[in-house]
A and B are shown apart, each in its own frame.
Chain A
Amino acid sequence: DAGITQSPRHKVTETGTPVTLRCHQTENHRYMYWYRQDPGHGLRLIHYSYGVKDTDKGEVSDGYSVSRSKTEDFLLTLESATSSQTSVYFCAISDPILAASYNEQFFGPGTRLTVL
């Protein structure tokens, strides 16, 4: 299994507070992704990174920012959490060279975030 951890695994916070979720990988994969999973929507891409300090927006990026200062860490920040951001957040990694066969994504265990 790919070495991907997410922290925290569970968090309850209040509307308006900032929240940072961390994704850490030990696989040296180049690309990293943040998704949110909501019933009826599957996984939707929030932001992704194709290298250190290189990030871009996905389809549901409003209200989120990211940073990647090291290959192994990808941070997702909710600047001012809202109830609509209650979700399960997954980090994923991929690398077309290191995962040579399919270039599939490997997923972290997820973070369940509740915004009250």
Chain B
Amino acid sequence: AQKITQTQPGMFVQEKEAVTLDCTYDTSDPSYGLFWYKQPSSGEMIFLIYQGSYDQQNATEGRYSLNFQKARKSANLVISASQLGDSAMYFCAMREGAVYNFNKFYFGSGTKLNVKP
């Protein structure tokens, strides 16, 4: 079974609107972390936001927020007020296991976001 599933291969959003990128995960470990990375056309992987499995509140970082629904095993990324520079590939990832241990990381297949002017 896939550890991380991103069901939206590509999405369009109008500039200044909000957009939600979906991510579901699968793990039986009570300790895990969820990450979102951005990959612009230049190719580098940029860390955006993190949510720990024991965190009570949804993570926020500027215009990024993570809609964490633990019972549904979903960790959707919300980008508010989209900008042209948000056009990129976005990856959801999971660190399985406690934060202080060695961990494997699992990545989804990505969502290509295009922001239209």
CB distance from A47 to the nearest CB of B (A): 12
Q: In the complex, A58 Cα to B110 Cα: how many Å?
A: 19
User: For residue B39, which residue of chain A has the nearest CB?
Assistant: A37
Interface residues on B, range: 20 to 34
Do the beta carbons of B104 and A102 come within 8 Å of each other?
A: no
Q: In the complex, A103 Cα to B47 Cα: how many Å?
A: 12
| Residue from the set A50, A90, A105, A109 with the largest chain B CB neighbour count within 10 Å | A105
Interface residues on A, range: 20 to 34
Interface residues of B in 41-70 (CB under 8 A from A): 43-45, 47, 50, 52
Do the beta carbons of B43 and A88 come within 8 Å of each other?
A: yes
Residue A42 contacts which of B33, B50, B109 (CB distance < 8 angstroms)?
B109
Let me know if A43 is at the binding interface, CB within 8 A.
Answer: yes
Let me know if A48 is at the binding interface, CB within 8 A.
Answer: yes
Do the beta carbons of A103 and B95 come within 8 Å of each other?
A: yes
Do the beta carbons of B110 and A31 come within 8 Å of each other?
A: no
Interface residues of B in 26-40 (CB under 8 A from A): 33, 35, 37
Do the beta carbons of A104 and B50 come within 8 Å of each other?
A: yes
Do the beta carbons of B44 and A103 come within 8 Å of each other?
A: no
A residues with a Cβ closer than 8 A to B are 30-31, 33, 35, 40-45, 48, 50, 58, 88, 90, 92, 94, 96-97, 101-107, 109-110
